[in-house]
Amino acid sequence: MDFRATLCPQHPDLFTFVNTSHGHALQLVDPPPPPPPPLPPFRPAAPSDRLIDRPRRFPHLKLRRGLNLRRAHRDYLLRFHSLPEVSPFEPLDEGTSLEMMERRACAVVREVLAMTVEKRTLVDHLTHFRRDFGLPNRLRAMLVRHPELFYVSVKGLRHSVFLVEAFDDDGRLLVEDDMLVARDRLEELVREGKRMRRAKKKGLLALADDSDEDDEEEDGEEQDSVQVDGESWDLLEDGGIGEDWEEVGDLGEGSDDDADAELDALEEFWVKKAVAEGLVDTGSELDAW
């Protein structure tokens, strides 16, 4: 977006261009508003009813579970947190000590991470604003030096930094954004769909839609078979097979003898015809078959 051609001409009462040592910059016409107060802690202070929750008489460094530091490193962090608070929105005066500059840099990174949805970002993203935010050149070393404030993950090709106070002891966010919850739910549904497709290809899972279709097909086949059986039964009842079956079924007593005589006569007829055509050898007996 070209601010010089669009934003400044449309809003001359708000923005203007100024020349700096790094080039042209966008500046507010009116004096900037007063800086906001620092970010409050994510975890509320525990009630001091119990003896263990009362303020300690000696300096205490709260670390996440499972983190052990050397004695020299612990003493350095105790001295660091004993320094006065520094606003991350105001620049420091010239001649400020290195510890105060590092304390302001930690406050700036804390504010930036608190504004993100996941309370984390890539270390490379913070290095892009090193000059604007007044961060040190060795930014990653500063983040690793303060494990009570930040957690640096070295997984993957690019390192990530997390805001420790925004997570509980189990690694879950204390305050989850609605957009983050919806995104996690969508990712879960996508993974479940992929898992079901892989299981279906391996034959380990039958989807509900497929089972319903199979049940419908089986019901259709049963209805067709019932319909065919009904039609065949109707044909039997209506006498659609033929009149010969009715004649045979209607024969009375002595029908077996007449049937045998007819079969013998028919067999004799075919034997004589075969002998006449030379299909079988002639003989005195007709039962050459």
CA separation for the pair 122, 236 (Å, rounded):
83
Residue 260 burial (10 A CB sphere; 0-12, 13-18, 19+): exposed
Q: What is the pLDDT of residues 203-250, one digit of tens each?
A: 875 544 554 555 555 555 555 554 545 554 454 444 444 444 444 444
CA separation for the pair 3, 89 (Å, rounded):
24
Checking if the pLDDT of 59 tops 50, the result is yes
In a domain, 168, yes or no: yes
Domain that holds residue 17: 1-33
CA separation for the pair 116, 177 (Å, rounded):
10
Higher pLDDT, 28 or 45: 28
Stated pTM of the model: 0.56
CA separation for the pair 152, 144 (Å, rounded):
6
Residue 113 burial (10 A CB sphere; 0-12, 13-18, 19+): buried
In a domain, 232, yes or no: no
CA separation for the pair 100, 108 (Å, rounded):
12
Together in a domain, 25 and 104: no
Domain boundary among 158, 174, 190: 174
Domain count, the chain: 2
Domain boundary among 174, 192, 209: 174
In a domain, 112, yes or no: yes
> If you ran DSSP here, which 8-state letter would residue 165 be given?
G
Together in a domain, 117 and 23: no
Q: What is the pLDDT of residues 110-144, one digit of tens each?
A: 999 999 989 999 999 999 988 888 899 999 999 99
Together in a domain, 2 and 83: no
Checking if the pLDDT of 269 tops 70, the result is yes
